[in-house]
Amino acid sequence: MSWGSRACTLLLAITVTVSETNTTHKESIAVTACVAGDGADASPALAELAALTLRIGGIRAHAVPPPELCVSPSRADSVACQKAIFTDLGQGKLHVALLSVPAGSALSSWLLRNNGLDDLGDVIISPTRRVCVAPPPARSILDLEDALIARKYYIPREKVVELQADMQNITLKNETKLPKMYEPEWCNSNTSCATIFTSDVGEARLLYEVVRENYLRAIVLPLGTNLHQITNSINNRTLVCDWNQHFQEPFYPLGPPSCKMDAEKCHFESRRVVKWINTRALARSPSAVRALRRLKVNFSGLQELATKKRDYGVEAGALAFLSDHPVRDNVRQLRVVTFLPEDTKREVYNSSALMAAAVLAARDLEGLMPGIATFKVQTYDDRCNAVQAYKYLIDALGTGDYDALTAAVGPACGVPFADVVRQGPSHRLPALAYTPQSPPSPPAAPLALLAAGDARSIGSAVAAFSTNLGWRRMVSLSETARHSALATASFGVDFIVNLELPDERPEYDPSIFTLWADRVARANGRIIYISVEDARAVRHALCAGHKSGLTPSNGAVWILPSGLPPNWESPKGDTCTAEEIEEMLLGHISVAQEWMLPWLDDNINTTKSEELQSWEYRWREDCQMLNKPCDKPGPYAVLLYDVLKLWASALKKLIIARPAALDDLHDTDLLKSLVTNTTLIEYEGLTGKFEWIKLSKDGAIFARSSPLIIYQWDGQRRREIGRWFDDKLELEGSALKWYTADGRRPDDGHDRCALQPLADLFNTQCRTATILLVSTLLGVTIVILSGLMVYCKRRAEKKYRAKLEALTLRRLPLVKSVGLDPWEIPRERVVINRKLGMGAFGTVYGGHALLAEDRGWTAVAVKTLKAGASNEEKLDFLSEAEVMKRFDHKNVVRLLAVITKTEPVCTVMEFMLYGDLKNYLLARRHLANSDSGDDPEEQVSARRLTSMALDIARALSYLAQMKYVHRDVAARNCLVSARRVVKLADFGMTRLVFENDYYRFSRKGMLPVRWMAPESLALGIFLPASDVWSFGVLLYEIVTFGSLPYQGLSNSEVLNKVKSGQIITLPTGLKPQLEGLIKSCWQTEYKCRPTASEVAAFIADTPRLLSPCLDLPLDAMSLDVDSWRMSKERAEARWVSWAAPPSATTDVTYLSADAPRENDRFLP
């Protein structure tokens, strides 16, 4: 290794160390080491070396001392030390530990991983072990049991004192300066005991334990750092026990004592120095893991490291060691693979020009990052085949190429590029396109860079050009790779004939193109768009078109791809001549990006700068060295060179900012940021300045932005006729020249029709214009008819109301025609003696009526119409009576008589002693929580509640049979008779449903939204099934003893909740059968709800189905403290309002005396 490399490494290490001294250790990696040998010097030096290695890679790290159980006089290789490090790593106190473990009984990898740890392999290349060496005659340490052999290794203490004094250049006058000697009692002042020398106190204690266990005649003396110097001076009488002793004659290794079953007692077993890490702490730093994996030191290096620590200190010693032993693989190789379509029968891109450009870029970029990394460009022939391209990616995973691979440039062909970029996320490899390509799907989008632009933009330019010229019919010939550029939605034209060629065919069948051209001719197609990569397909299409008469002179306009290979128009066994192809090419249209123009074969009067000419000269030299045909590089070869330089610049910028990125080249987040940062570089290459646009709202993929030039071929050169940029078309109409027989602009071949002016006005076809006109006329007709129907309906309703009002309210003698005569009784036969309440129409009184001479006086309820009622209210009042007269059921309140001939109009109904069911339950709520003895009449027992629910179900079943919907089924509209039979009342909202089985509400008014079904709230439709929904809410009221449904919500909130499919939260304690019944009534789809008769049958089979559930609180009502200031009538009305609905704020019914509010109105 040169002195220059050593100096660079030392300078970098010093810089990193100095910068670390001013940083906190809060987010720094804690590294420790605990290895046996060389006393206490090797461990801190090795820990500092590992931390310094991480810091050089740009990772914050610092060395920390090991646990106390690993420090002398304890041993670094003890089981206790290993457990202490294991615990500290698991608790996060340490992040990296280099420690000695038994080579044959180390902890298993699964145990480490289960505790969040991992083993990165050995630090020291070969295992180490504790060994004893000595000259003959001893062959084993156990030979020291023999006093004769032990005597040969006896060293007098005075000799050791003398040698130590000489080495320290001091005079030891007494033995107190000597290290402690470990001497068994049988060797006290006995010359027949050997002297065993070792390094530190921890080793001395272990050897002393061996001596005592095996009754060896030996004493143990630790010499510390002077071990080797003193023992070399004693020479042939030395017996040394330490780690990995390098021995020469006459020294030989002694056999160790037998190993015990306990691993703690197996002192002479081989040891590995391993690297344990806390995987959670290093999870976000894979570069740290890779740097630690590369950290290797041999045993002699460890001894050198310990020596430098003693000489210079911990940090300086590690720096000096790293300077003498720089990391040899510091210079990495960064590689890109460039896919080229070389060995293929497809005539696509100029592979020779591309190869020479890649070689030239490789030579120019090789020294881009000296001392850090080398940039290599590898070329690979994908044969324009997706399988071949993907084969390289698979093979790279099994070789060493993948780690250094930073990106895939290409392939040039569309299908293999789509395959490579789609596999980018799984291989963690960006894909850079140097030919126009369509953007990939979202998973692969962040790892793709479309340096040649978005292929779809060419289609957009062609579409805008066609629309501007009034062409609405088009013919296309495409390949799978270009399918997205032909999206009909973006073109806005009608593709009357479309042929998509199969991919990767070795040869094309000319008959395919002949049939296609014949179809085009029969369909009178004039505008022909060819969107392919293979020049063979273009020639075949032109030849077939010529034979079918699709020539420019006959009005055909050919739109051909730009950037085809050189001399592509020359026939190669085609079915037409060069003159015929030249005739077909006359006046054709092409679209190319602006940066391509200087490099096209026949450019538009562009001149190249000296820099471009110099590059082309160098390119031609490389091309000749490759023995390739060299004419002109073409636009894509130049762009390939620019892409390679741009990517190398982005890599250099990244590595300078983050040196650790060299170890994270396949980190997904790093690659995404690298691709994004590449677009931020202000790079101007041979193809001009690179500017980028985001192709999606979230900015997932970038494509190069460049104006598109629309040009026309005049037979000798290309002439610019328009530009497309930023979705704007600038067309120079005067530059267009048409080669038709009459010189006029050709049309798209559409048929002329009577509605042609209308079609031209809307820029559409005759068929579309006809459909548009018919649709408009039909719509106007429907609107007129609908308006007429509404007018007739309202007129008929107005006449009906006027007639009914005249017949019933103005004392005309035609009341019988309304059908109320049989029910009419004189007012003198009704006696009112008390007020029961107030409703929406007026006041309800209690009294008696003489309905028949032979029946006597009957208790009745009399409902009167309030004074000053509107005509609509009068009609509704009489309509309720008209409905009630048709009902005759024991669970429906009966209408007994009416009084309409004199004011006020009244209806006489049967009297219900206990009032409405809601107040009945509220008044007896206390009985539900008491013992059965408090309710001897079983007013609120389970049987009673079930019987009440059954009464209402039977009433609803009856109404359904009569083809009526009640529309307001609630506890307040159910009345309880003296025999506690519940009857359905309040038929003010009841309607006949006729043959359609539903009634649509079409007027403004207050509605009971808390009891209404979703179809009623959303559409204003009421069905018998809507009453079943309301019955489910009624069951909720019964079991909760009058609790308000959707308590705490406003009417508008309830409306939104029901429409969204949510239902009332049921109280706990419901029987499963009842819960299932209620939920079946609340099915959102009305067809799924049971009928009222089915509900009645189910309840009849379960006589104790309903039981009290009083977990829910009652709704609260705020008392008006100033109500005593109101008039008596208003105060009573307000009280009655409380009695009828539970809360005027949250309950909307027809019985409320309060005025309706805006948010109570549901229909417009």
Is the pLDDT assigned to residue 9 strictly greater than 50?
A: no
Is the pLDDT assigned to residue 883 strictly greater than 60?
A: yes
Q: Across residues 1106-1128, what is the average pLDDT?
A: 58
Q: Could you say which DSSP state residue 1112 is in?
A: S
* Biggest CA-to-CA distance, the chain: 154
Is the pLDDT assigned to residue 496 strictly greater than 70?
A: yes
* Best-predicted range by mean pLDDT (543-557, 740-754, 846-860): 543-557
The domain tally of the chain equals: 4
Q: Domain for residue 750, yes or no?
A: no
Residues 6 or more apart from 399 whose CB is under 8 A from it?
Answer: none
Per residue in 206-216, pLDDT (tens digit) is 888 899 988 99
1017 and 887 in one domain? Answer: yes
The answer to whether the annotation marks 799 as part of a ligand binding site is: no
Confidence (pLDDT) at 606: 59
Confidence (pLDDT) at 1161: 34
Q: What are φ and ψ of residue 630, in 5° steps?
A: -120, 105
Look up the CATH number of the domain holding residue 91.
3.40.190.10
Per residue in 750-793, pLDDT (tens digit) is 766 666 676 666 666 677 777 888 888 898 999 999 899 888 88
Q: How far is CA 979 from the centre of its chain?
A: 65
pLDDT band for position 161 (cuts 50, 70, 90)? confident
Is the pLDDT assigned to residue 21 strictly greater than 60?
A: no
983 and 930 in one domain? Answer: yes
357 and 320 in one domain? Answer: no
Q: Hey, which residues does 713 pair with through a beta bridge?
A: 718
Burial class (CB in 10 A: 0-12, 13-18, 19+), 1062: middle
Q: Could you say which DSSP state residue 361 is in?
A: H
395 and 303 in one domain? Answer: no
Helix, strand, or coil here: 557? strand
Per residue in 299-342, pLDDT (tens digit) is 788 888 888 888 888 888 888 888 887 655 556 788 999 999 98
* Mean predicted lDDT score pLDDT of the chain: 81
Sign of the four-CA dihedral 511, 516, 520, 526: negative
Confidence (pLDDT) at 409: 96
Bond before 757 cis per omega within 30 degrees = no
Question: In what order do the strands lie in the sheet containing 130-134?
Answer: 218-222, 194-198, 239-243, 130-134, 252-253
Interatomic CA distance for residues 1143 and 1152, integer angstroms: 9
Measured from the Cβ of residue 162, the count of other Cβ atoms closer than 10 Å reads 14
Measured from the Cβ of residue 798, the count of other Cβ atoms closer than 10 Å reads 10
670 and 658 in one domain? Answer: yes
Q: Hey, which residues does 703 pair with through a beta bridge?
A: 450, 693
pLDDT band for position 822 (cuts 50, 70, 90)? confident
Confidence (pLDDT) at 128: 82
Interatomic CA distance for residues 310 and 43, integer angstroms: 12
Is the pLDDT assigned to residue 863 strictly greater than 80?
A: yes
Q: Across residues 195-213, what is the average pLDDT?
A: 86
268 compared with 450, residue with greater pLDDT: 450
Bond before 430 cis per omega within 30 degrees = no
Residues 6 or more apart from 201 whose CB is under 8 A from it?
Answer: 72, 73, 179, 180, 222
Per residue in 40-93, pLDDT (tens digit) is 678 888 899 989 888 877 788 999 999 988 887 677 778 888 899 999 998 989
CA distances from 42 to 74, 133, 545 (A): 15, 22, 85
Give the tokens for residue 965: 């919907």
Q: Which residue range(s) make up the domain with 175?
A: 130-262
Identify which of 338, 432, 424 has the alpha carbon closest to the alpha carbon of residue 381: 338
Query: β-pairing, 239-243 with 130-134?
Result: antiparallel
pLDDT band for position 394 (cuts 50, 70, 90)? confident
The domain boundary residue, chosen from 1100, 1116, 1133: 1100
Least confident interval from 484-488, 722-726, 1120-1124: 1120-1124
Q: Domain for residue 742, yes or no?
A: no
Per residue in 520-553, pLDDT (tens digit) is 999 999 999 999 989 999 999 999 999 999 999 9
Look up the CATH number of the domain holding residue 615.
3.40.50.2300
Per residue in 684-702, pLDDT (tens digit) is 999 999 999 988 765 578 9
Identify which of 331, 368, 373 has the alpha carbon closest to the alpha carbon of residue 9: 331
Give the tokens for residue 734: 């005067």
Least confident interval from 622-631, 885-894, 1019-1028: 622-631
Q: Domain for residue 641, yes or no?
A: yes
Least confident interval from 141-150, 388-397, 1110-1119: 1110-1119
Q: Across residues 578-582, what is the average pLDDT?
A: 90
The continuous run of DSSP H or E covering 373 comes out as strand 373-381
42 and 119 in one domain? Answer: yes
990 and 1091 in one domain? Answer: yes
1090 compared with 72, residue with greater pLDDT: 1090
904 and 829 in one domain? Answer: yes
Least confident interval from 24-28, 437-441, 598-602, 852-856: 24-28
Confidence (pLDDT) at 94: 92
184 and 124 in one domain? Answer: no
1091 compared with 608, residue with greater pLDDT: 1091
Q: Domain for residue 875, yes or no?
A: yes
Give the global pTM: 0.52
Least confident interval from 374-383, 844-853, 1132-1141: 1132-1141
The domain boundary residue, chosen from 262, 293, 310: 262
Per residue in 436-491, pLDDT (tens digit) is 998 988 888 899 999 999 998 998 899 899 888 888 889 999 987 777 666 654 67
Look up the CATH number of the domain holding residue 858.
1.10.510.10
CA distances from 380 to 339, 354, 388, 415 (A): 5, 11, 10, 16
Confidence (pLDDT) at 812: 34
Q: Domain for residue 498, yes or no?
A: no
Give the tokens for residue 943: 């049987």
267 compared with 1064, residue with greater pLDDT: 1064
975 and 875 in one domain? Answer: yes
Confidence (pLDDT) at 659: 75
Confidence (pLDDT) at 678: 93
In degrees, to the nearest 5, what angle opens at C-alpha 308 toward C-alphas 304 and 310?
A: 115
Confidence (pLDDT) at 371: 66
b/e sequence 409-437, b meaning 16+ C-beta within 10 Å:
bbbbbbbbbbbbbbbbbebbbbbbbbbbb
Interatomic CA distance for residues 56 and 17, integer angstroms: 9
Q: Across residues 10-36, what is the average pLDDT?
A: 60
pLDDT band for position 173 (cuts 50, 70, 90)? very low
pLDDT band for position 1153 (cuts 50, 70, 90)? very low
Interatomic CA distance for residues 1037 and 1016, integer angstroms: 20
Q: Hey, which residues does 332 pair with through a beta bridge?
A: 373
Is the pLDDT assigned to residue 1119 strictly greater than 70?
A: no
pLDDT band for position 1024 (cuts 50, 70, 90)? very high
211 and 114 in one domain? Answer: no
Is the pLDDT assigned to residue 169 strictly greater than 70?
A: no
Per residue in 287-310, pLDDT (tens digit) is 788 788 888 888 788 888 888 888
Per residue in 991-1023, pLDDT (tens digit) is 665 444 444 455 555 678 899 999 988 888 888
Interatomic CA distance for residues 851 and 861, integer angstroms: 13
Helix, strand, or coil here: 920? helix
Confidence (pLDDT) at 679: 93
Provide the percentage of residues in the chain whose pLDDT is more than 90. Answer: 30
pLDDT band for position 1034 (cuts 50, 70, 90)? very high
Q: Domain for residue 734, yes or no?
A: no
Give the tokens for residue 364: 């120019």
Give the tokens for residue 994: 């006729």
Q: Domain for residue 410, yes or no?
A: yes
Q: Across residues 1106-1110, what is the average pLDDT?
A: 89
Q: How far is CA 66 from the centre of its chain?
A: 44
Provide the percentage of residues in the chain whose pLDDT is more than 70. Answer: 81
pLDDT band for position 357 (cuts 50, 70, 90)? very high
Give the tokens for residue 276: 């344990």
Q: Domain for residue 733, yes or no?
A: no
Is the pLDDT assigned to residue 186 strictly greater than 70?
A: yes
The domain boundary residue, chosen from 281, 304, 324: 324
Confidence (pLDDT) at 935: 63
996 and 912 in one domain? Answer: yes
Residues 6 or more apart from 52 whose CB is under 8 A from it?
Answer: 13, 16, 17, 61, 315, 318, 319, 322
**H runs (alpha helix) in 937-1067:** 942-961, 1014-1019, 1024-1039, 1051-1059
Q: Across residues 1128-1135, what is the average pLDDT?
A: 34
